[in-house]
Amino acid sequence: MMKKVFYIILLALACCSCHSKLGLTSVSLSDPVRHYYPILQGQELLVIAKLTNTGEEPLVVTDVQPSCGCITTDFKDDTMIPPGQYMYVTLKYDSKKNVGLVEHTVRFWGNIEPDGMAQMRFDVNVVPDADYHHDYEELYDKDQTGGMLKDLVTGTGRDTGLGYYTDL
């Protein structure tokens, strides 16, 4: 009889466990579309995103996904933000491998209305350092191509002898 009562109590506790489904909540992302001033290639750009829980339920941010491996984040898994509170996420964009206008998207995943995601976009123009681009005379004088550049300039090119090439 005692075993029967124990199993009934255990079954009742299992049915009434403390797990409750976390509802969706609304969020506000400060400046979700940003245009940064140009930076030199190789510089890091610090992007700080402020994510505010504007809903009635606690916000649990489960993941932050940048669109590029050149962006790192200080985000820790499953961060909870109470209603009315906010958190900052620091992103570092490394411009070593980019030149020109670059656009990136960062997605914040969690119990966010309506589809579980909020996103921000930013763009920046990455300007190459002048030290990396030599003018024509420097290239001609420092010819590292084994004479190929001089051959092309003087008209004694190895392939055609014309000093230029075509797509054909």
Closest C-alpha to 90, from 33, 51, 36:
51
What secondary structure does DSSP assign to 40-64, as a single string? ETT-EEEEEEEEEE-SSSPEEEEEE
Please give the helix or strand (H or E) that residue 82 lies within, else none. none
Q: Is residue 94 part of a domain?
A: yes
- Say whether both 154 and 82 belong to one domain: no
Contact of 41 with 98, CB cutoff 8 Å: yes
Which residue range is the domain that position 80 belongs to?
Answer: 27-128
Phi/psi of residue 142, nearest 5 degrees: -100, 20
Read off the CATH number of the domain in which 103 is found: 2.60.40.10
pLDDT score at 30: 87
Tell me what pLDDT residue 95 has.
93
Residues 6+ apart with CB under 8 A from 121: 32, 33, 34, 103, 104, 105, 106
State if pTM tops 0.85.
no
Report if residue 64 sits inside a domain: yes
Q: Supply the pLDDT for residue 60.
A: 94
pLDDT tens digits in sequence order for the chain, 168 residues long? 666 655 566 555 555 555 567 889 999 998 888 888 888 999 999 898 999 999 999 999 999 999 999 999 998 888 899 999 999 999 999 999 888 999 999 999 999 999 999 999 998 899 987 765 555 555 555 555 555 555 555 544 444 444 344 454
Q: Are residues 101 and 147 in the same domain?
A: no
The predicted structure's pLDDT at residue 128: 84
Cis preceding linkage at 66, omega within 30 = no
* Helical residues (DSSP H) of the chain, grouped into ranges: 2-15, 136-141, 148-154
Whether residue 115 sits in one domain with residue 56: yes
Whether residue 21 is contained in a domain is answered as: no
Question: What is the pLDDT, as a whole number, of residue 147?
Answer: 56
Give the count of domains, the chain: 2
Q: Does 135 lie in the same domain as 120?
A: no
Same domain, 103 and 82: yes
Instruction: Take residue 74 and report the two structure tokens written for it.
Output: 């200080």
Judgement on whether residues 61 and 138 belong to the same structural domain of the protein: no
Query: Are residues 111 and 45 located together in one domain of the fold?
Result: yes
Residue 38 CA to residue 148 CA, distance in Å, equals: 36
Spatial distance between the Cα atoms of 5 and 7, rounded to a whole number of angstroms: 5
